[in-house]
Structure 1
């Protein structure tokens, strides 16, 4: 498994931004609070279906030079970014999960806002914050965020809702998601020994007895 430092170094070496990573020369100051929020929302709704990175301390305009953020006056840790998101009016009061990580490259410290992958897409505001509009769904296409005054194309919005509903997952991945909602499993007409998932009743659980009297589990697969 690739660790964070190796992954970030690989992305910087590409010398271009992409569908789930963005470079910033320095931390957002007070004048750019709306940009911080907009960028986090776009990354939380990324279409790569994975953790996303806002990489702070990389100067795109100067051959992707690494800049030290250690003494940057606008620097934020995880708690400060979480606090920043806390009072923003997100739809359903569900907010992106973020973590700020620091790595050292060429003796310089750069910060990464890691926006965690989530099934709760699309993330969007129910009340406007500065220039970030309410009820607009932002995402990221290749290396470009949805403009702050518009909404994503309808096919991208549909995909994000399908993600929330578990419709883009494989059958085995969907089972794992359904198991996280035990209250959504109903008893079948045969009683509590057989249950079905009420939103997708083709998924069933059946309690049975082993013919040889064993008391244990029958595994579907081992790999």
Structure 2
């Protein structure tokens, strides 16, 4: 389901209607007591193969009842500051925001983790229970354990996501033909461009995809993903 045109309230309501936690959302009654645990959850949600934003919804009991929060809540600025103090490999760090919504007369906090294209996100220095070089990910409704590492298949798919190999070739090409200008995404495609340049452009893109697929095959053979820093 695409949430692009949905409000945060509608997204929360949709997640509650599922009757369980999922790959891109989680329910908690209170904010994490330890900032280390919160940051680990954020990193896990950043390391997902899909291209959706992820949500941690606070104020929901284990039985999925809307109960609100009674303990101290985290501020967006404090979370961003804590993330900035971590040492991420390749300087690729999650981007987050916090919104407060009202549902059934109860305030809920929603921590939004933006989709990360340059996965996997991992640390090059130990922090809390997280070890440098280890990749923590979100699979279905579970996070990688503190003492573990994501499965090799998950790690491989996270690298494939970074290289644009998760999406079909056509979507990959279209994404690469986009530019950011004046805060809006504008497609660099016109009738003239298509008629004169699309064949050579597609050829170049397909050659790049083929090269990346071969490169991924080499990485799979060497099983060097956790320590490889691809810029």
The TM-score by the shorter chain falls in which range? 0.7 to 0.9
Matching residue within 16, 21, 25 for 1:21:
25
Give the CA deviation at 1:93. 1.1
The answer as to 2:160 corresponding to 1:162 is yes
CA distance in 1, matches of 2:106, 2:84: 30
> 1:45–1:139: 8 Å Cα contact kept in structure 2?
yes
Using the size of structure 1 for normalisation, the TM-score is 0.75
Is the partner of 1:66 in helix, strand or coil? coil
Is the partner of 2:170 in helix, strand or coil? helix
Give the CA deviation at 1:173. 2.2
CA distance in 2, matches of 1:202, 1:111: 42
1:64 aligned partner: 64
CA distance in 1, matches of 2:55, 2:177: 29
1:139 aligned partner: 137
Instruction: Please list, as runs of the form range in 1=range in 2, the aligned pairs for 1:1-223 lying within 5 A after superposition.
Output: 1-29=5-33, 32-60=34-62, 63-69=63-69, 72-73=71-72, 75-179=73-177, 200-201=206-207
Give the CA deviation at 1:9. 1.1
CA gap of 1:202–1:21, structure 2 versus 1, over 3 A, is closer
Higher helix share: 2
Q: Which has the larger radius of gyration?
A: 1
> 1:103–1:111: 8 Å Cα contact kept in structure 2?
yes
CA gap of 1:199–1:149, structure 2 versus 1, over 3 A, is farther
Using the size of structure 2 for normalisation, the TM-score is 0.73
Give the CA deviation at 1:72. 3.8
Aligned residue pairs, count:
187
Is the partner of 1:36 in helix, strand or coil? helix
Q: CA RMSD in A?
A: 2.4
CA distance in 2, matches of 1:202, 1:115: 30
Give the CA deviation at 1:138. 1.1
CA distance in 2, matches of 1:202, 1:53: 34
Is the partner of 1:82 in helix, strand or coil? helix
Query: Which runs of 5 or more residues in structure 2 are unaligned?
Result: 180-195, 210-231
Query: Which runs of 5 or more residues in structure 1 are unaligned?
Result: 182-192, 204-223
